Homo-oligomer: A and B are copies of this chain.
Amino acid sequence: MANPTLLILAGDGIGPEVMGQVTRIIDWFGDKRGLAFDVEHDLVGGAAYDKHGTPLHDDTMARAMEVDAVLLGAVGGPKYDDLDFSVKPERGLLRLRKEMDLFSNLRPAQCFDALADFSSLKKHLIAGLDIMIVRELTSGVYFGEPRGIFEEGNERVGINTQRYTESEIGRVARSAFELARRRGNKVCSMEKANVMESGILWREVVQKVHDEDYPDVELSHMYADNGAMQLVRAPKQFDVILTDNLFGDILSDCAAMLTGSLGMLPSASLGAPNADGRPKALYEPVHGSAPDITGQGKANPIACILSFAMALRYSFDQGDEATRLEKAIEKVLADGARTADLMGEEGGTPISTSQMGDVILAAL
């Protein structure tokens, strides 16, 4: 049988540095666990723009549609800040999400025991935190038409359209309920049904999918502003949070920061299952391209490595191997391995990106 295929798009800033460690881990799984992948590399974001004048070349897009999973590093950087909207690095990522139809974005906000002190929250509020945010990723105000900057009378107006169909809401709701069943069996859905009609439809469809097919899952609804408050007040009240593209962007970053260690958080973006049962999938760390530390060997590769662990679990049905990798990371953290971003007030000497790769490989 042919090996499963991976397309690696390391992207910009620290993307290539952290991805360098991921490829070492991938090789280890091939050598030691008989899990060999066929790996290809290509460009995305500013790196693609520099070479092709577009943040995602059509050939890359075509390969992304064919492979079993895409691993992405990070996109963007100050060098590209003044580029036209249509060729900004982010457009490459958004095109991947849209054309691969990756409607369900899984963002775990998890607090590692060894790192609970890094949170800005008091320890008892955050220790043991384990939330999964399911963000709709291919519709809503990121993609709705009409959009643009138009002349109107004697001034300009900036327009974007928030837009959700019943089927778009239904499919992402299903993915949240499915996930909840494998976790704490609770879903909290967030919108602004008190002021937005798109929120009313969202709430109605989520409730209907629940009542028809997931009555065993505990479902609640919350306004998104209250959601932001509750995340800060008592984050452990949540299991799975289901929300739309824009609210999800903000709430998942808020939740991520609660853990205090952004360099630790992976994400998975999943589409519909193919004939072989595998969803179209893209995995990427939650952190950005971090231009301030690029090229210095300081970046923390763990978020990107944990994204590969999510790939093992969600694309390749290798939950046990994913757990093996996650446990290795927990161990090195418990043993005190720290990249620069994980230096607390006690101080100490940080290890480099590749040294973190070394100790994780050793722990495996």
Q: Which residues of A contact B (CB under 8 A)?
A: 76, 85, 88, 90, 94, 120-122, 125, 141-142, 144, 147-149, 152, 155-167, 192, 194-202, 224-226, 228-234, 246-247, 249-254, 256-258, 260, 262
- Given A162-B161, A228-B257, A253-B225, verify A196-B141 contact (CB < 8 Å): yes
Q: Which residues of B contact A226 (CB under 8 A)?
A: 253
The chain B residue with its CB closest to the CB of A253 is B225
Q: Which residues of B contact A90 (CB under 8 A)?
A: 194-195
Q: Which residues of B contact A160 (CB under 8 A)?
A: 161-162, 196-198
Check A228 against B202 for contact (C-beta < 8 Å): no
Instruction: Give the distance in Å from the alpha carbon of A188 to the alpha carbon of B232 in the complex.
Output: 21
A-B contacts besides A158-B163, A161-B161, 14 pairs, CB < 8 Å: A90-B195, A155-B167, A156-B201, A157-B164, A158-B196, A159-B162, A159-B163, A159-B197, A228-B250, A228-B253, A229-B253, A232-B257, A232-B258, A246-B246
Check A147 against B195 for contact (C-beta < 8 Å): no
Sample of 17 A–B contacts (CB below 8 Å): A85-B197, A88-B194, A90-B195, A147-B196, A156-B165, A156-B166, A157-B201, A158-B162, A159-B162, A159-B198, A224-B250, A225-B249, A225-B252, A228-B228, A229-B256, A250-B250, A250-B251
Q: Which residues of B contact A165 (CB under 8 A)?
A: 152, 155-158
- Given A141-B141, A250-B228, verify A158-B201 contact (CB < 8 Å): yes
Q: Which residues of B contact A201 (CB under 8 A)?
A: 149, 156-158
Instruction: Give the distance in Å from the alpha carbon of A122 to the alpha carbon of B161 in the complex.
Output: 39
Check B200 against A149 for contact (C-beta < 8 Å): yes
User: Looking at the complex, which one of B163, B232, B234 makes contact with A232 (CB distance below 8 Å)?
Assistant: B232
Q: Which residues of B contact A166 (CB under 8 A)?
A: 155-157
A311 to chain B, nearest CB (A): 24
Instruction: Give the distance in Å from the alpha carbon of A158 to the alpha carbon of B167 in the complex.
Output: 11
Instruction: Give the distance in Å from the alpha carbon of A133 to the alpha carbon of B80 in the complex.
Output: 29
Q: Which residues of B contact A164 (CB under 8 A)?
A: 157-158
Instruction: Give the distance in Å from the alpha carbon of A169 to the alpha carbon of B224 in the complex.
Output: 24
A250 to chain B, nearest CB (A): 5
A49 to chain B, nearest CB (A): 14
